[in-house]
Chains A and B, each alone.
Chain A
Amino acid sequence: MPLSKLDQLYRQVILDEAYHPRHHGTLPDYDHSVTLQNPSCGDVLTLQLKLSDGRVADAKFSGSGCTISQASGSLMTDLIIGKTPAAVQQLVETFSTLVIDGHAPAEEALGDAAILKGVHDFPARIKCATLAWKAASQALSKGERHD
């Protein structure tokens, strides 16, 4: 039996990702730090990135938010470590298209993060899903170390 929309959104793997997030916390040393808010719900997310040899060497996120924003932060940071800034920007674009449209060209590049596709059926939650990805995009579009 196919999963209901709701079961798709709150799959066990997403709940686990949100309640036991990977890369959660702060970096002792980072090159970029961006804090974004979702004013409609009060979610706050801070993303810190460390770059090395033209790639994201480490990433951590912190803040408070709903299941979707926390799971998304976990999946996003895990995906972008090791990637170049240009590749990350491409992934952000792909993820955004996936949760808005329900499908995206080359969505397999998102790996595990594609499990958030179900957000497409909940337009009110798209901003929760994209918050961490927007933070990554903003962090990497600024050239130098900043807070």
Chain B
Amino acid sequence: MRMREQFPFFAAHPELTYLDSAATSQKPQAVLAALHDYYVEDNANVHRGLYQLAYATTEKYEAVRQQIAAHIHAARPEEIVYTRSTTDGLNLVAASFGPVVVRPGDEILVSGAEHHSNFIPWQQLAERTGATFVIAPVQADGNTDAAQVAQLISSRTKIVALASVTNVAGGAVAIRPLADRVHANGGFMVVDGAQQIAHLPVDVQAMGADFFAFSGHKMYGPTGIGTLYGRYDLLEKMPPVQFGGEMIDTVMDQDTTWAEVPLKFEAGTPNIAGVIGLGAAFDFMATLDLAAVRAHEQALVARLRTGLAAIDGIQLYGDEASIGIVSFNLTGVHPHDVATILDEAQVAVRAGHHCAQPLMARLGVPATVRASVGVYNNEADIDRLIAAVQSARRVFDAVI
């Protein structure tokens, strides 16, 4: 079956050019079917019931943990913690692991290109613990400057938190050399993998990540489910931050002991359907040739950058190697005006600060327009976007 036909969304919106997959991807039929089938055939709570159905559903639910561990090359399935999202995972690390290792006078280091969800938790952790929050300068094109990050790592650095692919300029960051440096200094490497997971292979051990967070919904899976990978010995040291069902060993009147990793971090009835849907999304990913996907997405990025660069007054961020993301501005035109004109042309892109206000301040703009591609996009999508930006340029011809 052709790629686009696997996504019912496009049959429902035949006129729409969807170029906002970095915000959320569309879902293949296989994922939708898995969600439906779970509720029709397998709906039972996990890790509780003793009846056969509950047991079988728990098996399926735990099998996804193994599947994720294999996909991202975790050492063992217990290193996979189910979360709501990337944001949820990063907040869990900051709230639970942060106070275990960060002391007054220590440093927590991020890049100025981070998404708010990999920025604010660390800013707040620094404030709570008396640590210093250090922000590495970014490249002029909006990408993380790995050399600047490396230079700022010292024996004071307890945590380095970086996106492996940035969400505005779309550049990939080589994590391993930075992880080696932070480890040599006694610190820990936290990776925001939200924009990597759908586009590039992930090997958490090879990259040297102590923690790696991602969301299901950006990799063709459902919303409301994500994963936090954590090194087992570190997860063991971390206290739970939410309390309730499923996460306990024994509850006494005055004391409670916790379940083993990872269940101690999964209080309450989890998003079972989401986990099953995420498993189906990984099955879908397994049908893809990621090298071919990368080549396809790179060709679309190149076509878009070339087409936009020919328009008078275009400012492009990132570079040709961007992982499926092209952010731009039309000089003299507010990005929201551009987005409204693109919307009228049935081209869906994101315009705004992309939850990266510190980066916008560094680039000296209030916002950017961001187009991003998925496996279902084609050259015609790119050409419609370029034509729509040209027409936006014409609307403002008389005033800019």
Contact = CB atoms under 8 A, between A and B. Distances in A.
Interface of A: 4-6, 9-10, 12, 15-16, 18-19, 40-44, 64-68, 122, 124-125, 128
Nearest to B339: A124
B368 to A, nearest CB: 10
A4 B340 CA distance: 13
Contact of B334 (A4, A12, A67): A67
B341 A19 contact: no
Interface stretch (B146-154, B158-166, B371-379, B391-399): B391-399
A15 B337 CA distance: 11
A5 B398 contact: no
Given A6-B344, A42-B353, A66-B337, A12 B398 contact: yes
15 contacts: A6-B395, A40-B352, A41-B335, A41-B351, A41-B353, A41-B366, A41-B367, A42-B357, A43-B366, A64-B366, A66-B334, A67-B334, A68-B336, A68-B337, A125-B340
Interface string B337-364: 1001101100000011100010010000
A74 B344 CA distance: 26
Nearest to A5: B344
Interface string B307-350: 00000000000000000000000000111110011011000000
| Closest 7 A/B residue pairs (Cβ) | A66-B334, A42-B366, A19-B399, A66-B336, A6-B344, A15-B399, A67-B337
A38 to B, nearest CB: 9
Nearest to A43: B366
Interface of B: 333-337, 340-341, 343-344, 351-353, 357, 360, 366-367, 395-396, 398-400
Given A41-B366, A42-B357, A64-B366, A9 B340 contact: yes
Contacts of A65: 334, 366
A133 B360 CA distance: 26
Contacts of B337: 10, 66-68
Nearest to A19: B399
Contacts of B334: 65-67
The CB with the most chain A CB atoms within 10 A, among B335, B343, B344, B357, is that of B344
A1 B368 CA distance: 34
A121 to B, nearest CB: 10
A15 B352 contact: no
A41 B365 CA distance: 11
A15 B400 CA distance: 10
B336 A41 contact: yes
